Structure 1
Amino acid sequence: MELSFIPSTYVSYPLTANWFQSSFVNKQTCFLIKKMAAQSAAHLTTSNVDKPSIFELVASHSLDSTFYPALKRIATYLGTINPERYGKILKHYDEIFLILNGIVQNYYLKKHGGSLSESFYGLTRYNLSSKHFSRRDHLMSLLILVIIPYLSRKLEIKMTKLKEKLQDEISTEDKYKLLGLYSYRSMKASFEFAQIIKYIMYLSGFSSTHSIQLMVARIGLRHSSYQEESFKLSDIFSGNVKLSTILSSLMLRGLEFGGFFLQFIQWWQDSSTSQKSIAQLPIPDPPILDQIANKYINICPICLQNFLIPTTLQISGYVFCYKCITKHLKKHQYCPVTNYPATMDDLIRIYDS
């Protein structure tokens, strides 16, 4: 019986099965081949198991992007019911969220090796070269999760204000600002297109990361092997579990399920909005005019003159001159009549038909 697979060193010898089994060298060769095949199979299996699906990554990103608008709605509600006490929270919301987000993300990166949303979906970060999560990776992750989103939101607000300003009048200096605005839009569109390409490369197996930011930082995501310390209700009463462990577990579970609840509420609102258009909603009755409203009929409450480019502040419903209200909001950020907290985003221009 001839063997069809033998090492190239012995290709000139027609060996039999009995001779092959008795050869010590060939036994060692077979052993090495089997060992290498087993290691290769184990490596492939581990890689496939550890690699998150694109749906998990997108869901994690979606959950992470829910916290900022959800908490801002709460801050807006508090600022509306009590402007004097909670108005400053809405005014400095971006900075407050920056601090809170930094504290939470730093804790999760330190304890779980991933962000809050990534830990919720059982994901952890690692360096693409060393396969470990180092101090450098920790700082780079904080930069990506906390600092860059904050700067991006600030830049977006500034560009929105610049766009509104350039709609009225364009001077020689504003032409350069307009060029910067178009450049910003082009770069943003290019980044979003590149991110789509990155998703396709990740799905096709040509990239280890799904994000451009993670690619630059040389950081990847994989399924976590971390198992949180579990305890039963009887362990709590018997004193076998530390109080700090119980409080930490409750706090983390509250944050994770709170984030999931916020995401569910956002989905519910988006679903309801898509099913009901504004045209189908009943038109509410106009509010009853009080003494303050009667005082400012057909005149701007700030300059007390006829409206010049009438603009309404949707927080309070009062109409002002465009220049008067924009100048006021840039300094004070509240309605000059009702003291409700407001920003430039709350202005609506009124055009005569």
Structure 2
Amino acid sequence: MSESANLRQNLQNIPSIFEISAAETLDSLIYPALSKIFDYLNLGVDFKLLGAYRLKGEVSPILTWVLQYLYLRNRDASFGESFYGLQRTGMTSGELMTRQQKLISASILTLMPVLERHLKTRSAHHEDISIWERHTLNVLRAYHASKAIHTFLYLIKYAGSHSPIFRALNLSLRYPNEPPKDDKITYVFLKLLEVFAFFLQFIQWWYSNDQRRKIGGTLKNPVPFKNKPDMSRENIHPKGDCPVCLMKIQTPTACSISGYVYCWKCIISHLKERSICPVTGYKITLDDLVRIYET
């Protein structure tokens, strides 16, 4: 009798695939949302090392890892999983996570989306990627295929976990039997972070609308640099020439922010030095470039 009651309780504690998917979606918003915030504030890591070497990068992956580990340490769940009231436990034992499992989980939750986004961006913009980066992309594709199979097996209640990573760590998602017990300061801090989830949704909405405005906005080009009075539409460069190399445009590439057209190699080389439009000075990234194909 007690065994059947325990089994019934475990079955009731198993979340649906829709709740797990919602938690994963929320987790996936953290890094891009923080990246957009820091890009907008122009914050990042950029300082000289020994000699001519420079260290350039983002701070958002570091903050994402800290945030995820904070939740895993205090709630045995990621940010998104905690928001939906889920908890990571041992697949067979039902015990809470070990410190090693928490560190590995936080690293995977942070590094995998960052790495995948970086590689897909480089591949989409036809940049030269090494053979190791290609292999990594193939491994990530194989992982997503394996995860789809695990999700299906979890859906038909044939598997105890929805992901190969959870299976490798011998973990599963459950509803906790008791709510987490935090001290007052930790409770208030984590609740404020959960309110931040709605802000993440707003950032995603704002960014998607901002992208639509870039594509379907005004057809009038912005004016050139205001601090260079000698630059005007008539004397920047002859029509049909690239504003960077001042020669006939090769592989025309338009900037969706300003509408100006450059050589592909010229604008890519320019963006490696400065993340602004060479003509207007507006802040741009590789995602704002659109290749123009002749028919």
TM over 0.5: yes
Where in structure 2 are the equivalents of 1:332-351 lying within 5 Å? Answer: 332-351=274-293
CA distance in 2, matches of 1:63, 1:140: 19
Q: 1:127·1:134 contact (CA, 8 Å) conserved in 2?
A: no
- In structure 1, which of residues 131, 134, 153 is the aligned counterpart of residue 98 of structure 2? 134
Determine whether 1:296 maps to 2:236: yes
CA distance in 2, matches of 1:312, 1:246: 53
What is the match of residue 225 of structure 1?
A: 177
Determine whether 1:321 maps to 2:259: no
**Other structure's SS at 2:253 match:** strand
TM-score (norm 2): 0.78
- In structure 2, which of residues 100, 110, 117 is the aligned counterpart of residue 153 of structure 1? 117
With over 3 angstroms needed to count, the CA separation of the structure-2 counterparts of 1:139 and 1:228, relative to structure 1, is closer
Higher helix share: 1
Deviation of 1:288 after TM superposition, in Å, equals: 6.2
- In structure 1, which of residues 60, 65, 90 is the aligned counterpart of residue 23 of structure 2? 60
Where in structure 2 are the equivalents of 1:1-353 lying within 5 Å? Answer: 38-78=1-41, 86=42, 88=44, 95-132=58-95, 133-161=97-125, 164-165=126-127, 181=134, 187-228=139-180, 245-263=183-201, 266=204, 284-287=218-221, 289=223, 292-294=231-233, 295-297=235-237, 298=239, 299-352=241-294
With over 3 angstroms needed to count, the CA separation of the structure-2 counterparts of 1:313 and 1:147, relative to structure 1, is same
TM-score (norm 1): 0.66
Q: 1:63·1:260 contact (CA, 8 Å) conserved in 2?
A: no
Q: Which amino acid aligns with 1:61?
A: E
**Residue-pair matches, total:** 277
Deviation of 1:198 after TM superposition, in Å, equals: 0.9
**Other structure's SS at 2:59 match:** helix
CA distance in 2, matches of 1:42, 1:53: 20
CA distance in 2, matches of 1:313, 1:39: 67
Q: Which amino acid aligns with 2:187?
A: S
Q: Which amino acid aligns with 1:260?
A: F
Q: 1:125·1:220 contact (CA, 8 Å) conserved in 2?
A: yes
Q: 1:94·1:150 contact (CA, 8 Å) conserved in 2?
A: no
Q: Which moved more, 1:98-107 or 1:339-348?
A: 339-348
CA distance in 2, matches of 1:188, 1:146: 14
CA distance in 2, matches of 1:142, 1:88: 21
Which structure 1 segments of 5+ residues have no match? 1-37, 79-85, 167-173, 231-244
Which structure 2 segments of 5+ residues have no match? 47-54
Q: 2:221·2:258 contact (CA, 8 Å) conserved in 1?
A: no
Q: 1:334·1:341 contact (CA, 8 Å) conserved in 2?
A: yes
Q: 1:198·1:211 contact (CA, 8 Å) conserved in 2?
A: yes
Provide the alpha-carbon RMSD of the alignment.
Answer: 3.6
Deviation of 1:74 after TM superposition, in Å, equals: 2.9
**Other structure's SS at 1:125 match:** strand
Q: 1:118·1:124 contact (CA, 8 Å) conserved in 2?
A: yes
Q: 2:89·2:171 contact (CA, 8 Å) conserved in 1?
A: yes
Q: 1:63·1:117 contact (CA, 8 Å) conserved in 2?
A: yes
With over 3 angstroms needed to count, the CA separation of the structure-2 counterparts of 1:96 and 1:325, relative to structure 1, is same
CA distance in 1, matches of 2:214, 2:258: 20
Deviation of 1:117 after TM superposition, in Å, equals: 0.8
Structure exhibiting the larger radius of gyration computed from Cα positions: 1
